[in-house]
């Protein structure tokens, strides 16, 4: 679901071929560049590069050169590096303003797909969840997002509970580290080994979902196949090569991304088990929301708790502070609590019965935030209840 925090860009189209970017936050310096030769430096994930991703995505989609310029002022209330998709919000916002200035039209789905692809210019092998919800979100409803083809289905959340976001205050910039891309590669390798084990065309396979679709089996059946096909001990690059019948050089140049070529261990069993079980939990969550049993909040909370345990133990994308914060949230009345976003820092999301909200906020504030120098961010940005917000909008001055 979209949270209520957002990213805003005020835009003035100009006749020159120059992009002028400014930010209301003094931490983010001004930047300007010509519109015709957009260079995105993957070595430094600077704020303006996320704007350039969105701009370049639209430019390349329409095959345009000689674009008019824009003066842009960026403002936002999404805490950065917190797992609440501030970077994707900036990419999507930049794509939308570029499209609007050009006077072109695209559907929300097309926009989401272009922005998901163009965010990879920054060097992260990201998926498309954040960009999809940025455009497809509707107030008052969560969305089940599915890919190939991209589509979103309404999911009505329980009325007696709220979602509370709590920031661990451990910043995680996923474009500046390789953790995130290593997981993408481990899943890619696991998919290839599973495909080979099942005599599929493994060299064409990139994602675990493709193996399931090609075999035409359920997620539960995939979890059984993993037990036969993969071993829990980590794989070395050499073992992966032996399993696939390829050379080390082929593995590094044809399969791995540039910042994962030196990785020495791949935990393929654990990553695949997490992905298939997490996908099953998503569908289970939707089913419970639709059936709305009396103990719905408790059941949804249990799924969120299982999800955090799998993120922590099987996918290993948590961190001690997130685990501590999740425990504190559960202690003070959350039915379920888990990390959200890429992990390794950022935020937790907790499902809290509405009648417990005031005491929950007060207790978590005291237990996590008032012990030590946790967060410099204002209180409201670190701990808040939220409901599903709307997606991206354009306001045109008459």
Give the per-residue pLDDT at 259.
82
Mean pLDDT over 196-214 rounds to 97
**Counting every residue, how long is the chain?**
398
Same fold, 7-154 and 179-317: no
Sign, CA dihedral 291-295-300-302, equals negative
**Which of the four pLDDT bands, split at 50, 70 and 90, describes residue 321?**
very high
Report the candidate in 101, 103, 74 with the shortest Cα–Cα distance to residue 14: 101
What string of DSSP letters covers 370-386? TTTT---S-HHHHEEEE
- Determine which of 45-54, 101-110, 380-389 has the lowest per-residue pLDDT on average: 380-389
pLDDT, tens digit, 9 for 90 and up, residues 256-283: 988 899 999 999 999 999 999 999 999 9
Mean pLDDT over 239-261 rounds to 94
Residue 116, pLDDT above cutoff 70: yes
Backbone angles phi, psi at 377, to 5 degrees: -65, 150
The CA distances from residue 150 to 60, 111, 127, 130, 144, in Å, are 20, 11, 12, 13, 11
Tokens of 179: 């953790």
- Determine which of 107-116, 161-170, 289-298, 379-388 has the lowest per-residue pLDDT on average: 379-388
Burial environment of residue 336 by CB neighbours within 10 A (0 to 12, 13 to 18, 19 or more): buried
Write out the catalytic residue numbers. 130
- Determine which of 20-24, 153-157, 341-345 has the lowest per-residue pLDDT on average: 341-345
pLDDT, tens digit, 9 for 90 and up, residues 184-196: 999 999 999 999 9
Residue 119, pLDDT above cutoff 70: yes
- Determine which of 28-37, 372-381, 389-398 has the lowest per-residue pLDDT on average: 372-381
Identify the architecture of domain 7-154 in CATH.
2-Layer Sandwich (3.30)
Q: Where are the domains of the chain?
A: 7-154, 157-170+319-388, 179-317
Task: Name the DSSP class of 266.
Answer: B
Q: What's the CATH number for 157-170+319-388?
A: 3.30.70.3170
Distance between CA atoms of residues 270 and 354, nearest Å: 36
Give the per-residue pLDDT at 377.
54
Mean pLDDT over 101-109 rounds to 92
Predicted TM-score (pTM) of the model is 0.86
Report the candidate in 306, 368, 372, 391 with the shortest Cα–Cα distance to residue 165: 368
**Which of the four pLDDT bands, split at 50, 70 and 90, describes residue 181?**
confident
Give the per-residue pLDDT at 33.
94
CATH 3.10.20.600 corresponds to the domain 179-317? no
Mean pLDDT over 302-319 rounds to 97
Backbone angles phi, psi at 309, to 5 degrees: -60, -40
């Amino acid at each position: 679901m979209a949270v209520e925090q957002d990213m805003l860009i005020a835009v003035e189209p100009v006749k020159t071929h120059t992009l002028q970017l400014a930010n209301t936050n003094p931490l983010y310096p001004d930047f300007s560049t010509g519109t015709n030769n957009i260079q995105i430096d993957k070595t430094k994930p600077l704020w303006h590069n996320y704007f350039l991703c969105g701009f370049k995505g639209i430019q390349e989609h329409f095959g345009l050169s000689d674009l008019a310029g824009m003066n842009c002022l960026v403002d936002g209330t999404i805490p950065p590096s917190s797992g609440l998709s501030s970077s994707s919000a900036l990419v999507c916002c930049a794509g939308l303003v570029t499209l609007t200035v050009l006077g072109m039209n695209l559907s929300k789905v097309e926009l989401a797909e272009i922005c998901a692809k163009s965010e990879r210019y920054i060097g992260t092998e990201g998926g498309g969840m954040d960009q999809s919800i940025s455009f497809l979100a509707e107030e008052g409803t969560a969305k089940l997002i599915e890919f190939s083809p991209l589509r979103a289905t309404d999911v009505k959340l329980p009325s007696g509970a709220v979602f509370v976001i709590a920031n661990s205050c451990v910043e995680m910039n996923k474009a500046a580290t390789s953790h995130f891309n290593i997981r993408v590669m481990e899943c890619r390798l696991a998919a290839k080994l599973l495909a080979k084990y099942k005599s599929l065309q493994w060299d064409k396979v990139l994602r675990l979902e493709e193996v399931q679709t090609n075999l035409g089996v359920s997620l539960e059946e995939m979890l059984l196949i993993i037990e036969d096909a993969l071993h829990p001990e980590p794989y070395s690059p050499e073992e992966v090569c032996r399993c696939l019948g390829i050379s080390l050089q082929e593995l590094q140049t044809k399969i791995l991304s540039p910042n994962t070529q030196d990785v020495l261990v791949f935990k393929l069993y654990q990553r695949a088990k997490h992905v298939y079980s997490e996908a099953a939990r998503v569908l289970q969550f939707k089913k419970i929301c639709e059936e709305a049993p009396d103990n719905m909040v408790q059941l949804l909370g249990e799924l969120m708790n299982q999800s955090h345990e799998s993120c922590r133990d099987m996918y290993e994308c948590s961190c001690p502070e997130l685990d501590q914060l999740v425990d504190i949230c559960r202690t003070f009345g959350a039915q379920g609590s888990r990390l959200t976003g890429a992990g390794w820092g950022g935020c937790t999301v907790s499902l809290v019965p509405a009648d417990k909200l005031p005491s929950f906020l007060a207790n978590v504030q005291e237990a996590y935030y008032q012990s030590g120098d946790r967060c410099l961010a204002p209180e409201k940005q670190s701990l808040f209840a939220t409901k599903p917000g709307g997606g991206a909008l354009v306001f045109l001055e008459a």
